């Protein structure tokens, strides 16, 4: 008799076979979904504006739960996902400027799916310069203002005046900010180029401007944008008097010319009669304050056999009569020097080059003796070397500051007249005693003193034989020398420039755009916010 029932006997082998089947057929592997993909797309890598805009594209999520934007490792904002592409706008206050202005951004986006999967995009580098307003050109072939310009008026009533070559025709333009697509124009009798200069208005706000291209011509421009006088005289430089007349000089003569073109007086630079005691060595200045009102001070150089004498001639503004000559220094022959007068015309700053550094002294006019340590003519001399090759001396802020501009460094000196405290005069006031420097190999091209202690430096590549006067590509600004750089902005493959309107507000041309930067106080607020 069998101990096993047929049913039990049939189950044993079947159970055994099922175990063998399991052993021979492995279960399918668990599928791990790929992480989502996210990419940032930049329309431009260098933006000047009130916000920075870009797009984010994602893939691999059935549903996006979260999209977050980072600058390096700092979270900036969570963005509502709006499909592909999702447009992102970063406002001025959503960006941090702890590394400086303009902001150098390293932007990335993190996407998180509803099922918890997440990924981060590759970083995209960008530059953002926050400004108050941007006026765009109507097309890519036009620009709002000429390459170089002056600004007059304020607010929405500001206008911009500058010249440019329209084909082969030198043309003067006036563009109103309120009507940027319409320009008033005047044909000029002489070429306009990168050396053309337009003066401030004299009398202020209502008077004339003078415009000249060195060695090519000069004109007087009335407040109604009409030309009062034009000449192809080979002018080297000019200074405008308080009544709008201009002191012009070339290689042979210095003369006062009225806005109507009448020569009011002239003196010979090289000649036997009515001559000046030397060649004009810097910009003359018309004195307008104190007992010296109505006189003109003119820096001169007179080369002898072995030495160069540095002098200042004093002329009457009304008739050009020589009333005094001050002998300030005697240098070895062909020694280069630079001059500038304070706002009163009673002090001349004299700069010289000593090796790779500059030296500056202040010389009082009307004293006895040369501008040296043993006389009271010399008020002070810089005690520290000012590194760089001297380019210009620029007094500003009501005689309290002197900018010593060298090719690649700018120094700011305290030149206030503090009786009994001469130790502070001529002292460096730059933050940490460090000069204001252009970026990389750039060099100083233009400077623009601003309101109070503000100062703007425009820099460019070095000039070459092919391009002797390149356009600026960078602006460096300080609201006060003691605080260092407030903002720095550079364009690539383009150029920029700037001028102050009647309220002291800075306006810039950035490429083809017209730009109104933020106030200096606003930039400081952004810099100091953590």
Strand pairing partners for 197?
212
Strand pairing partners for 315?
296, 322
Name the residue among 458, 463, 451, 461 with its Cα closest to residue 436: 458
Q: What is the pLDDT of residue 8?
A: 41
Q: What is the mean pLDDT of residues 363-371?
A: 93
What are the pLDDT digits (tens) for 94-119? 999 999 999 999 999 999 999 999 99
Name the residue among 481, 490, 476, 484 with its Cα closest to residue 528: 484
CA torsion angle 440 446 447 450 (round to 10): -110
pLDDT surpasses 90 at 397: yes
E strands in 417-526: 427-428, 443-449, 455-460, 474-478, 487-490, 496-500, 506-510, 513-517
Look at strands 118-120 and 103-113 and give their pairing. Answer: antiparallel
Q: What is the pLDDT of residue 24?
A: 57
Tokens of 319: 């008739």
User: Could you tell me which CATH class the domain 196-275 is placed in?
Assistant: mainly beta
User: Hunting for tokens 């040296």 — which residue is that?
Assistant: 372
Q: How confident is the model at residue 288 (pLDDT cuts 50, 70, 90)?
A: confident
Q: What is the pLDDT of residue 2?
A: 44
Give CATH 2.60.40.10 domain extents, the chain.
37-131
Q: What is the pLDDT of residue 270?
A: 76
Q: What is the pLDDT of residue 11?
A: 42
Give the separation between CA 198 and CA 150, rounded to whole angstroms.
Answer: 7
**Would you say 186 and 225 are in contact if contact means Cβ atoms under 8 Å apart?**
yes
Give the separation between CA 341 and CA 244, rounded to whole angstroms.
Answer: 20
**Would you say 112 and 79 are in contact if contact means Cβ atoms under 8 Å apart?**
no
Tokens of 20: 């063998």
Name the residue among 379, 382, 385 with its Cα closest to residue 422: 379
Higher-pLDDT residue of 398, 53: 53
Q: What is the mean pLDDT of residues 63-79?
A: 97
Q: What is the pLDDT of residue 347?
A: 94
Q: What is the pLDDT of residue 75?
A: 96
pLDDT surpasses 80 at 49: yes
What are the pLDDT digits (tens) for 370-379? 999 999 999 9
Tokens of 54: 């870009």
Give the separation between CA 519 and CA 101, rounded to whole angstroms.
Answer: 13
What are the pLDDT digits (tens) for 189-205? 999 999 999 999 998 87
Q: What is the pLDDT of residue 322?
A: 95
Tokens of 477: 């600004």
**Would you say 235 and 211 are in contact if contact means Cβ atoms under 8 Å apart?**
no
Q: What is the mean pLDDT of residues 384-394?
A: 96
Higher-pLDDT residue of 478, 18: 478
Q: What is the pLDDT of residue 12?
A: 46
Percent of the chain with pLDDT over 70: 93
Higher-pLDDT residue of 228, 399: 228
Q: What is the mean pLDDT of residues 501-509?
A: 97
Give CATH 2.40.128.630 domain extents, the chain.
196-275
Query: pTM of the entire structure?
Result: 0.91
Mean per-residue pLDDT of the chain? 92
CB count within 10 Å of CB 185 equals: 15
Peptide bond into 85 cis (omega under 30): yes
Q: What is the pLDDT of residue 424?
A: 67
Tokens of 227: 């030309």
Q: How confident is the model at residue 530 (pLDDT cuts 50, 70, 90)?
A: low
pLDDT surpasses 70 at 87: yes
Q: What is the mean pLDDT of residues 249-254?
A: 91
**Would you say 355 and 401 are in contact if contact means Cβ atoms under 8 Å apart?**
no
Q: What is the pLDDT of residue 206?
A: 79
User: Could you tell me which CATH class the domain 37-131 is placed in?
Assistant: mainly beta
pLDDT surpasses 90 at 271: no
pLDDT surpasses 70 at 13: no
State which of 46-55, 134-143, 234-243, 250-259 shows the largest mean pLDDT: 46-55
Q: What is the mean pLDDT of residues 144-173?
A: 96
* Side-chain half-sphere CA neighbours of 101 within 13 A: 28
What are the pLDDT digits (tens) for 413-460? 999 866 555 556 899 999 999 999 999 999 999 999 999 999 999 999
């Amino acid at each position: 008799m069998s101990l096993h029932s047929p049913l039990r006997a049939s189950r044993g082998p079947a159970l055994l076979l099922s175990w063998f089947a399991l052993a021979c057929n492995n279960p399918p592997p668990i599928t791990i979904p790929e992480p989502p993909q996210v990419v940032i797309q930049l329309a431009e890598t260098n933006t000047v504006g009130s916000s920075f805009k870009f797009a984010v594209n994602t893939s691999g999520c059935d549903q996006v739960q979260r999209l977050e934007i980072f600058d390096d490792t700092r979270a900036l904002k969570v963005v509502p996902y709006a499909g592909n592409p999702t447009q992102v706008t970063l406002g001025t206050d959503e960006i941090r400027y702890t590394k400086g202005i303009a902001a150098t951004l390293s932007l990335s986006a993190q996407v998180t799916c509803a099922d918890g999967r997440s990924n981060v995009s590759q970083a995209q580098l960008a530059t953002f310069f926050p400004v108050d307003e941007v006026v765009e050109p109507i097309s890519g072939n036009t620009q709002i203002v000429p390459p170089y310009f002056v600004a007059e008026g304020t607010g929405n009533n500001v206008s911009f005046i500058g010249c440019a070559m329209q084909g082969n025709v030198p043309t003067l333009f006036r563009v109103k900010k309120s009507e940027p697509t319409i320009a008033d124009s005047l044909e000029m009798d002489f070429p306009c180029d990168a050396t053309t200069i337009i003066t401030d208005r004299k009398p202020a706000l209502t008077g004339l401007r003078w415009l000249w291209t060195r060695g090519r011509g000069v004109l007087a421009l009335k407040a109604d944008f009409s030309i009062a006088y034009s000449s192809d005289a080979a002018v080297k430089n000019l200074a405008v008097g308080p009544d709008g007349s201009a002191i012009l000089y070339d290689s042979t003569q210095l003369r006062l010319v009225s806005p109507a073109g009448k020569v009011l007086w002239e003196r010979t630079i090289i000649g036997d009669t009515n001559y000046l005691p030397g060649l004009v060595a810097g910009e003359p200045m018309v004195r307008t304050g104190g007992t010296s009102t109505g006189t003109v001070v003119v820096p001169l150089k007179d080369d002898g056999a072995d030495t160069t004498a540095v002098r200042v001639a004093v002329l009457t503004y009304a008739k050009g009569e020589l009333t005094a000559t001050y002998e300030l220094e005697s240098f070895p022959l062909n020694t280069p020097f630079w001059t500038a007068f304070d706002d009163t015309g009673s002090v001349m700053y004299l700069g010289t080059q000593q090796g790779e550094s500059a030296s500056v002294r202040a010389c009082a006019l009307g004293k006895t003796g040369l501008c040296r340590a043993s006389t009271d003519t010399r008020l002070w001399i810089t005690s520290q070397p000012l590194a760089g090759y001297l380019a210009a001396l620029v007094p500003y802020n009501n005689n309290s500051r002197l900018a010593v501009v060298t090719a690649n460094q700018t120094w700011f000196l305290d030149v206030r007249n503090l009786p009994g405290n001469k130790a502070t005069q001529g002292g460096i006031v730059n933050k940490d005693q460090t000069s204001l420097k252009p970026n990389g190999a750039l060099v100083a091209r233009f400077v623009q003193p601003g309101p109070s202690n503000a100062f703007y430096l425009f820099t460019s590549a070095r000039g070459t034989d092919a391009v002797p006067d390149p356009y600026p590509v960078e602006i460096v600004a300080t609201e006060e020398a003691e605080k260092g750089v407030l903002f720095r902005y550079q364009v690539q493959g383009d150029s920029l420039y700037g001028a102050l309107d009647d309220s002291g507000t800075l306006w810039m041309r950035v490429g083809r755009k017209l730009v109104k930067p933020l106030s200096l106080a606003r930039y400081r607020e952004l810099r100091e916010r953590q």
